[in-house]
Amino acid sequence: MGDVVSREELTIAGETTTWTFTAPEDIEPVEATVSIVNAQVGGGASAWLDIVDAETYAQFEALAEAANLETPAHLLFLGDSLTDQQRDHNYTDMVSFWLNRTHGDVTYRNAGVGGDYITRMWQRLQGEGANRQEMYEGLFEPTPTRVFIWTGHNDSKLKPKPEYQTPDDYPFDPVVPLDEFEETYVNFIEYMRQQAPEAEFTVISASSSVHEITRETVVKRIASAGNGGSYFGKPDALEQFNERMQSVAAATDADYVDVYEPTRTYPDKPSLFTADGVHMTHKGNLLVARLLLEYLGE
């Protein structure tokens, strides 16, 4: 939430101390942190709170209860910064929390890596020393029963050149060419199936972005530095990559979940995204978590 709402000293008696926070019934879903500091020893810990209204709570609980999930279950989430950022309070944590609450015996691992695209994910999977190689160490321990892959946001960004003077000068020249993207993605899933033959795989589309923001970012970079840098979130680029992801899912017998249209058509779309127009806010993560829980109940 950004602000310290209250600070309270507690006297710990015995093994446990209870502190109760009562939220208004009509509160808008919001996240908060609780930090506990032991001033005597200088140690402390923090925890994230996902505060929702009664209607949202009931909705998520019902969706989780309806999910088709055999237990024990181990969920593996792979992706880029939309999976890597906001650890402990992003969509992976929300999905796993609710499934564990309603089904029990559900564990998960978030192996997302910021900046990733499918070719780098493939290199890391092969142990070729990609950036943050350690994120895939012991990836199949325990063996996942469900694998969710959410990528395409970096793959689809358009490469810059010094001669580009406006965003309209950028041709369709993504960081990962479409054919290479599709071929590598298929290889990625097929390799993972060899390691986890009983796992169910889910390909998640790239989300929409706030194009007005990502376009303006390029404009500002050209004006200030003479180079617009990578052009994220151009709708036609995202849509072409999502079409290929549907083909990947069909070729590998994986499921496909569309989060592009729900994020593109959301009534208050900017509220789903941070200031860069690409990454998810708390509300955006809630939406993605809800979409995945809905999918698991289909």
Question: Which fold would CATH assign to domain 52-296?
Answer: Rossmann fold (3.40.50)
φ and ψ of 129, to 5 deg: 75, 35
pTM above 0.85, yes or no: yes
Cα(50)–Cα(31) distance, integer angstroms? 5
Cα(235)–Cα(289) distance, integer angstroms? 22
The answer to whether residue 13 scores a pLDDT higher than 60 is no
**79 and 292 Cβ atoms separated by less than 8 Å:** no
Report how far Cα 52 is from the mean position of its chain's Cα atoms: 20
The answer to whether residue 86 scores a pLDDT higher than 50 is yes
- Element at 296 (helix H, strand E): helix 282-296
Task: Characterize 41-69 residue by residue with b for buried, 16 or more Cβ atoms within 10 angstroms of its Cβ, and e for exposed.
Answer: eeeeeeeeebbbbeebeeebeebbeebeb
Banded pLDDT at 145 (limits 50, 70, 90): very high
Mean pLDDT for 109-117 is: 98
The answer to whether residue 219 scores a pLDDT higher than 90 is yes
Max Cα–Cα distance, the chain, nearest Å: 69
91: its two tokens: 């969509």
The answer to whether residue 4 scores a pLDDT higher than 60 is no
Banded pLDDT at 1 (limits 50, 70, 90): very low
The answer to whether residue 7 scores a pLDDT higher than 60 is no
Nearest CA to 70 out of 42, 39, 103, 27 is that of 103
pLDDT tens-digit profile of 183-208? 999 999 999 999 999 999 999 999 99
**Sequence-separated (6 or more) residues with CB below 8 Å from residue 6:** none
Report how far Cα 262 is from the mean position of its chain's Cα atoms: 15
**295 and 257 Cβ atoms separated by less than 8 Å:** yes
